[in-house]
Structure 1
Amino acid sequence: MPRFFHAFRKRLLRGNRLTRYLVYALGEIVLVVIGILIALEVNNRNSEAKMRRSETQYLNEIAKSLRSDLKDVHFNIRFNEDRLRS
Structure 2
Amino acid sequence: MSKRPVAVCIPHIEPGTRNEGRLFYFGVLPEERGKGYAGKLHKRSLYLLKEMGASYYVGSTHESNIAMQRVFEKSGCEVRGRKSSFYYYFNK
Whether these two folds match at TM > 0.5 is: no
- What TM-score comes out, normalization by structure 1 length? 0.23
The structure that is strand-richer by fraction is 2
| Bigger relative CO (Cα 8 Å, ≥ 6 apart) | 2
- What TM-score comes out, normalization by structure 2 length? 0.22
Larger radius of gyration between Structure 1 and Structure 2: 1
The structure that is helix-richer by fraction is 1
